[in-house]
Amino acid sequence: MNDKQVQRFLTKYIEATGCHIVEKSPAHMTVKLSPAADRELTNRPYYWSYVDRAGVEPETMTYLFVTDGQRYDEQQLRQAEAETEAAAELGEMEQAAQSALSRSIGFVHGSITGVRTPREDLYFGSRKLDQLFEAARVGGSYVYLFQEPERRSLNPFDSIAYTAWLGVNLRVEFACDMKREEIHSYGISLATGNIQENFHDRLAALRLTPKLPANVHTARNGLTLARALTVVETHLERKLRAADFKWAEGAARRLDEELVILAHYYEKMLESAEEEQREAIATQYENRKEEIRWQYEPRVTVSAINCGVFHLEGID
């Protein structure tokens, strides 16, 4: 994610959670958080439990989100210079006092009036962005949506047929001592059992709403949700079986090699060990074997990023 993508992400999050943008440039955004966003982003669980228990009006925080640090700092510097020029008109005494102040506490922005606006630099890998990612995950896991009809039918008694789809975005992790991931997005028509790949891309191009639009009827479901799950799993598993397993063979070989070395070491040790030490050595050996399996054993794990039920136009 580059800084533009980060800012786009931030903008969408802020709009979706109803925050208020105080100030904005291509390099930064000052945002008064909405209560929902504040709960997710400010790490103030005690404050929020107080608000909830006491039922008082919450005072949310304002953040300065910087998406292009270098550019923002340059902007600030230019602004500071302009203000210094303006300050040149001040008396000598005041000027000396001000420069002393800025030496010891850094540049003081004239507009800051007591309210703390913490600065957060958002870049890919930064903790605040990770927190935004997490907030998106928490607030965007399970949806139930309807497609907005393409065009209003002229006849108010016309009804458009919709199909319910189970949509799920799956993360597949191929792990040994290293890891690779794939993301698969599937939609399964609950009417026909038809399965579509890259389902998320299809959804992204549509306008979706949580409310059932007027003049819409849903086709009868031909299969249960549980059946749909089986369809997805079977489909994915077949796909994964055809994948390349060299990585796993490599890891299994490394695992075997390590086990051989270990066996050589500990078996010799056990042979020559005194009776009373033997048990401790055997335990250590077992623990070490466990560690090595933990480290190298190849495995594939499938879990969901998010999922939902989507009612889309047409029957397929």
Partner 1 sequence: MTRTVKEGGMGRLHPLVDLRMDRSWFEELQARIDRNGPWDDWTLYQLAMEAEQSRRIESFEELQCIRFLNGLEPMKHQTETAVRVLHDMGGRAILADEVGLGKTIEAGLILKEYLVRGLVRKALILVPASLVLQWVRELNTKFGITAIAQKRAHTWNYDVVVASIDTAKRDPHRELLLGTDYDMLIIDEAHKLKNKKTTNYQFITQLRKKYCLLLTATPVQNDLEELYNLITLLKPGQLGGHGEFASNFVVGKRMPKNEGQLQEALSSVMIRNRRGEGDVKFTKRIVRNIPLHLSKEEMDLYEAVTAFVKERYEESGGNLTSMLSLVTLQREVCSSRDSVFLTLVNMFKKTAEDSPVRGKIWELIEVIKQIKSNTKAEKAMELVRESDGKAIIFTEYRATQEYLLQYFRGSDITAVPYRGGMGRGKKDWMMDLFRGRAQVMIATEAGGEGINLQFCSRIINFDLPWNPMRVEQRIGRVHRLGQTEDVQIYNLCTLGTIEEHIVNLLHEKIDMFESVIGELDHILEKFEKEESMEERLARVLLEARDDQGIAQGIEHLGHSIRKLAEEPEEMATESLPEDGESAPTPSRRGSRAARRHAINRMLDGASTIVEVDSP
User: Which residues in 286-305 contact partner 1 (CB under 8 A)?
Assistant: 287-288, 290-291, 294-296, 298-305
The sign one gets for the Cα dihedral 12, 13, 17, 22 is negative
Residues in the chain: 316
Closer to partner 1 by Cβ: residue 50 or 144: 144
Binding segment toward partner 1, per CB under 8 A, in 22-30, 83-91, 189-197, 232-240: 232-240
Nearest of 175, 180, 156 to residue 294 by alpha carbon: 175
What is the closest distance, in whole angstroms, from the C-beta atom of residue 93 to partner 1 in the complex? 20
What is the closest distance, in whole angstroms, from the C-beta atom of residue 21 to partner 1 in the complex? 16
For residues 176 and 206, the answer to whether their CB atoms sit within 8 Å is no
> Binding partner 1 by CB under 8 A: which of 64, 80, 136, 223?
136
The residue with tokens 């070395």 is 261
Number of residues located near partner 1, criterion CB under 8 A: 90
The residue with tokens 């998320």 is 200
| DSSP state letter for 173 | E
Does residue 307 interact with partner 1 by CB under 8 A? yes
Does residue 220 interact with partner 1 by CB under 8 A? no
> Binding partner 1 by CB under 8 A: which of 21, 97, 214, 261?
261
Strand, helix or coil for residue 266? helix
- Extract the tokens encoding 150: 């393409």
What is the closest distance, in whole angstroms, from the C-beta atom of residue 2 to partner 1 in the complex? 10
What is the closest distance, in whole angstroms, from the C-beta atom of residue 115 to partner 1 in the complex? 25
> Binding partner 1 by CB under 8 A: which of 140, 153, 215, 217?
140
Q: Which of residues 70-129 bind partner 1 (CB under 8 A)?
A: 103-104, 121, 123-127
Measured in whole angstroms, the distance separating CA 221 from the mean position of its chain's CA atoms is 32
For residues 311 and 145, the answer to whether their CB atoms sit within 8 Å is yes
Q: How far apart are CA 75 and CA 68, in angstroms?
A: 11
Does residue 183 interact with partner 1 by CB under 8 A? yes
Where b means 16+ CB within 10 Å and e means fewer, 52-62 reads eeeeeebebbb
End-to-end Cα spacing for the chain = 36
Does residue 231 interact with partner 1 by CB under 8 A? no
> Binding partner 1 by CB under 8 A: which of 22, 107, 108, 133?
133
Binding segment toward partner 1, per CB under 8 A, in 21-29, 87-95, 111-119, 208-216: 208-216
Q: How far apart are CA 169 and CA 303, in angstroms?
A: 9
Closer to partner 1 by Cβ: residue 127 or 217: 127
CA atoms within 13 A on the CB side of 6: 24
Q: How far apart are CA 111 and CA 76, in angstroms?
A: 13
Closer to partner 1 by Cβ: residue 58 or 308: 308
Binding segment toward partner 1, per CB under 8 A, in 23-31, 83-91, 109-117, 240-248: 240-248
Binding segment toward partner 1, per CB under 8 A, in 26-34, 59-67, 150-158, 255-263: 255-263
